[in-house]
Chain A
Amino acid sequence: MIGGVLAVNLAFVVAGYALLGRRRWHWSWAGLALLVGAGAVGTLVFFATIVGLHASLWVASLAAVVLVALGAFGPGNRLVLGQRPAARVGPLAGALFGLVTAVCLLGIVGGFRSSPWLDDAWGICLPKGLALWHHALDPQLFVQNGAFVTFGVPDYPLWWSVVSSLDVQAAGDVDVRVMCAQLALLTAGFVGATARLLWGYVRPSVLAAGLALLVLSPELWRHVQGGVADLPLALYLALGVLSGALWLKSRAPFHLVLAGFAFAVALQIKTEALPEVAALVLVGTLFARRLAWAGLALLAALPWLLWRWIEDVPSRAKLDFTRADRLPDAVRAVSEHLFDPTEWLVLVPAVIVLALLARRPKALLVPGALVAVVLVAYWIDRDEIGYVLATSAYRVIDPIVLSAAVLIPLLAESFLQQREPLREDRALVGEPRDDRRVVQQH
Chain B
Amino acid sequence: MLWFLSTWCSSCIQAVKVLEQRKSKLEASGMQIVVLKNHQNGGYPGPQIDDFINRYAASLSDTPNWMIGDATAEMGTTYNPRRYPDIYFLIDETGMLVAVDGAPAVSLDVIMNFASGNAEGN
Co-assembled chains A and B: no
- B-binding residues in A (CB < 8 A): none
